[in-house]
Structure 1
Amino acid sequence: MVDVEFRVVSDRRDGLLLALGQVVIANGFTLLRQRMLNSDEGVVLVMVVRGPADALLMLEEKLGTHHLVQSFEASPYEPAPSAPAAAPAPVARNNGNGNGHAGQTSAAAAPVAPAGAAGGHAAAPIDTQRVETLLPQLARNYPNILLQLVALERELPPAQREATLRYIGQRVGAWVYKRDFALGGQLPLADSVRRIALPAMRQLVQAELHEDVLKVRNSPFCHRGESGECCHFLRGMLGGLLEGQHGAHVHVVESQCRNTGAETCRFEFES
């Protein structure tokens, strides 16, 4: 579960809290506290909500594109510490109803490890602010997101690439699962790969299934001048897609990669 603070600017006060509160609840979150005030920007509504991390991207998209919302910011919420701490600078997001450019969300710059990372030395920290700013953009542009991700990969320090791209993949995969597949019944792992993971991958890359192995022919993350398997986003997304059916117990392995000379990138699944 995550606690998040949303700051919304609107030109209308009446019905604003009710309308956005319904969106929060409909996406599986609880409204912990709220305050509303008038400012030079318009009516400012601040909401603190709590809910599942894998549903946060969808909630941000719904709030940021709501017809009552002119601008939207989000940041991780933490109770005030006993010692003063510098607050992160917000990055505004406009949905087109007000002035500005669409598509940015702010988050604190405190680094976090991706879901599933073990120990303090297992993975490099993730720049949360950069990730949370990118995720709503990916939601709006999906499935045309690979160019953005390749550009991000090139900019990241080498020590952060695997952890960051896998974490983004997990978040995107969980969002796609909830959007497109959550209403289906519970499936065995092999059927989940065939009916959920494969169709979702085919929106992004050339993917095919051979027995229980998913093969990708055109991963854009290969041949980046590094050794070893490098399709970290695809691996993370497959995990996010399948966790909706099988929880965190599902394990995705890139057993072969074109970056190491294989003909295709191969992903295998265990639970």
Structure 2
Amino acid sequence: MIKKIVLLLVILALASCSSSKPAIATTKKAADVQTRTASAKRTAPAKPTAKYPSTNNTTEVIQSTSKTVVTSDLINNYVLQYKDIAMGNMKTYGIPASIILAQGILESGAGRGDLAVDANNHFGIKCHNDWLGESVRHDDDSAQECFRKYPQASESYRDHALFLVGKKRYATLFTYEKDDYKSWAKGLRAAGYATDPKYPDKLISYIERYNLHQYDCQVTGRNYVPINTSVPPKKSSYDVASDPKINMNSNDPNLYEVQKGDTLYSISKKFNLLVDDLKQKNNLTDNAISIGQRLKVK
């Protein structure tokens, strides 16, 4: 009987020791894992934030349908986000990818402008009579104009291509080479896409500063040669003093000097005029005005 009791006690003691060991082993393993994880976190290299790191992250103001402050890094990231869509549209519709991206940057403020944020409208396309989709109201040449609204940005890119292909006034563009971005930039302005006389220069500047022509070359299979943007651009030959619209008597009370942020619409409201009357008084053929320009308002 005593032997049975002793044997039972030995079995119970062995069982107790056996059950306590896994807890110790598990605790040690967890500690090892935590140590290794912490060490890995300390030694792991930081992930890059962009494929095109900018050595000089400059800031600029993009003035289109809204005034937007952007950096060069934001523009690079915008290009990375939409370059594949632009190249796809180039293959399908024949519009240079560089032009598509440059217009996207300029018209949407690199995706940060009001229309891009509120309506996914990256190209400033207004409703026109044939638009059946959603729309938003936004001040541009006139107050609360109708602009197209899209469910997503890719639809804006597609509609931009269809807009150029479907309008007769842009037909001349498609006679240019697919990768002739300079002719396309000038042709867009000539066809009436924008009223800003500097519109072509702005598009070309974005294309050459951000190497957007490389995406044209990826589609056409041609070799891409980067533009040397370290050379300062030539000074514009435009002379304000020689402009007949500006060279007027500065003391004339019937004249108004255009200020930063002015539009023909805002000036017409200030002097209780119609935009058409203001244009007629100053022999203007479009809505383009320049800071410092003097307009007849009486």
Same topology, TM > 0.5: no
The structure where helix makes up a greater share of residues is: 2
Greater share of residues in strand: 1
